[in-house]
Structure 1
């Protein structure tokens, strides 16, 4: 053979001057697919932003329903409020007479809350709402004159009243109060005028609520009371344990209560038909004294230390979609590794552009998951989206590699990947353990599956590609 013939038989070097083995080597393909995996984080981030937008829209719908039906309710009371006049030292020897209010809590408080729930639908969003009846019975003790302090000049017994603060007045349907055997009528506002003068000017604004003036002209003796309050709300209902000894019992037909919005119950029973819970709060566990002066200490001495339950959805699919997106890089990486191994063990090649298209199909899985979850729930949506993605990608791999066996292997591998991702989403406390085991098993399988691969691609230099296949770019 002449030198000219030998030169003609030798493959032409690539125009870019890189060694042919580097261009066609599995190592180059491996790093290119890794780069594509990282770049696919951009569309994954866009899907995450879309999920947050849809979740915000859901919250807006819930707030709009709450404005009409009633927002989360918190009942604070009943409280006994007694106005009085007191001397206040001024400049020099001058004194000023100021108006103050003594707030007294009940000695005992036994509250029963029964609620029924229903779902309100707006577009694709469903918001649970409830109607509740709160019955509180208890006893106020006789007021010790020493509680007013040494600077008291006179007590305005005829202006004493019982106050009940309510989170959202929109949800109040009716309210009745019996004190000392006499029925009292409620009036709007937690106080008679809604404000109290403060020392040095200004005022203390009281939260929304209702109050009932007491028909008395002299010192208050101990008396029993009974409060019957019917109200509507959304999301949650809470009660302040205002008694020296408080017991609160709640019952509802909602099967998925959240007790982590306040003190945990002493007893609770949760069934598919609803829940019952009981809180017993002694005086020493209560975050408020038995009495205080409003102008000095404010109105709400309990803050968030209340008891109650939240009416939460059993599955927040927006949170699950967001969590699945956080595992998106691992999910796409495992899928690419599966395709890469099947390609490496096959005489046929998959172009790098085709890897990009496979990656976009995987991104569309998360879009499908989000859209279908709003319609049919997360579990069914995950099954449909995963099945569709598995069929498309495994069918594509089998077609390009011209092997039904490899298509079946790809389908099994993809189905296992989807199943493991679902397990990670459900086993939140074990997510790190399951994820690390998956990563270890995947890398171990890749290590042994490619142990005979010529990563440099030297054996392929000069070998023509199989007919009808594309060379990796």
Structure 2
């Protein structure tokens, strides 16, 4: 018993090497994914469109004439900016995902066509007591902040009040700002915003990966997103409407409606435009449990598999009085370790389920045939084959489960303990 227990602990060393191999391959996969995503397009963050209106403020300074010692006032004109968000903002996004492969690794990427439309109202400067005379109405622009300029596939133009304006990239001198900007040329608001509400609309097409997020800057913000991705992870500060959300084998459809009273920022800012990324919402396009995560979860049960398999052989040895040499235990343990190297190597060229099935059959067959020569009978090897089949099936079910893995695992271990207690009840441990 001492030697078998010691051997079990010794086998944790090659099992640790297997875990390290899985982590190494997983790290390599992340590097390849980052490289693929960098070339195709990173995650999309959208913050706009924002009406940017310049205005002039005058600062007075006191100066002294050195010859006469007289004090006089000087006025300096400084241009500042006010930022106004849309009254209504409606967005539609059609996201088509696909898996890109490089060697044995894969990454989920997407192409997204987004349509935005809404309304602006007349900018109101009264809250800051700014005179209409100092507002530079003819030098207003529209601003969009994003994180993925290089993956925009078409020219971006906005139709505001029946007139089209083209967005151009803006160089940012703020190194701490991770976003990039698109901005139109000058817009004469006196000619454009003639009505109480002025409509706008524009399209933008992205290549991206991992995620789409946007900031709800409209007084009423609505987003409708459709995709062929079957495992969406809704993220951010707001979740879609459960009543209209649909997820099926063909993809998903989700709808958001966010009011200005649902977020803690106003409809206009003066002087500085803050980063409101903490209020963004959207969808993550990721593989929920990839092949390396599944392999890592399987290897965590390695100690359990080795321990229970040795326990089965030890009980058979105790009941049948057949002697099993420690070398034979070692061969069985190495076969169990080999299961995980087979699993990860086959998974990289196939699916995890198929790899698990092939590796399990190979190891169960190897140990069963080896036990025929050890135990000299057919009933014990058949029992071992059935026990290992049940054990590997039990572990596979746990790996596939997410929310109920702990519950099923606990119940299964309780059943295994009960079975061991039942079969060992007649063994006389005093002999």
| CA shift in 2, pair 1:433/1:215, >3 Å | closer
CA distance in 1, matches of 2:62, 2:358: 79
Residues 157 and 219 of structure 1 are in contact (CA less than 8 Å); yes or no, is this contact kept in structure 2? no
Match of 1:212 in 2: 184
CA distance in 1, matches of 2:308, 2:47: 54
Match of 2:231 in 1: 256
CA distance in 2, matches of 1:406, 1:206: 65
How far off its partner does 1:215 sit? 2.4
Larger mean CA deviation between 260-269 and 135-144 belongs to 260-269
Residues 226 and 254 of structure 2 are in contact (CA less than 8 Å); yes or no, is this contact kept in structure 1? yes
* CA deviation string 1:377-422 (max 9, x = no partner): 1111111111111111122122211111111000000000001111
Please give the secondary structure, in 2, of the residue aligned with 1:376. Answer: coil
Work out whether 1:74 is the aligned partner of 2:45: yes
Taking structure 1 as the reference length, the TM-score comes to 0.81
Residues 160 and 192 of structure 2 are in contact (CA less than 8 Å); yes or no, is this contact kept in structure 1? no
Consecutive unaligned residues of structure 2, counting only runs of 5 or more, are: 64-72
Please give the secondary structure, in 2, of the residue aligned with 1:225. Answer: strand
Which of 177, 184, 187 in structure 1 is aligned with 2:168? 187
| CA shift in 2, pair 1:276/1:408, >3 Å | same
Match of 1:121 in 2: 101
How far off its partner does 1:97 sit? 4.8
Consecutive unaligned residues of structure 1, counting only runs of 5 or more, are: 1-28, 197-202, 458-473
Residues 138 and 186 of structure 2 are in contact (CA less than 8 Å); yes or no, is this contact kept in structure 1? yes
How far off its partner does 1:304 sit? 3.5
Match of 1:466 in 2: none
Match of 2:35 in 1: 64
Match of 1:275 in 2: 252
* CA deviation string 1:67-86 (max 9, x = no partner): 21110111111111112233
How far off its partner does 1:147 sit? 4.4
Kindly name which structure, 1 or 2, has the bigger radius of gyration based on alpha carbons.
1
Residues 140 and 189 of structure 2 are in contact (CA less than 8 Å); yes or no, is this contact kept in structure 1? no
Aligned length: 416
| CA shift in 2, pair 1:153/1:57, >3 Å | farther
| CA shift in 2, pair 1:54/1:148, >3 Å | farther
What does 1:391-410 correspond to in 2, within 5 Å? Answer: 391-410=365-384
| CA shift in 2, pair 1:137/1:356, >3 Å | same
Match of 2:309 in 1: 335
CA distance in 2, matches of 1:279, 1:245: 10
Match of 1:309 in 2: 283
| CA shift in 2, pair 1:383/1:205, >3 Å | closer
Please give the secondary structure, in 1, of the residue aligned with 2:229. Answer: coil
How far off its partner does 1:235 sit? 1.6
* CA deviation string 1:131-187 (max 9, x = no partner): 111100001110112244559983233331111122211210112211111011111
CA distance in 1, matches of 2:129, 2:360: 72
| CA shift in 2, pair 1:88/1:411, >3 Å | farther
CA distance in 1, matches of 2:236, 2:343: 30
What does 1:397-436 correspond to in 2, within 5 Å? Answer: 397-436=371-410
| CA shift in 2, pair 1:281/1:436, >3 Å | same
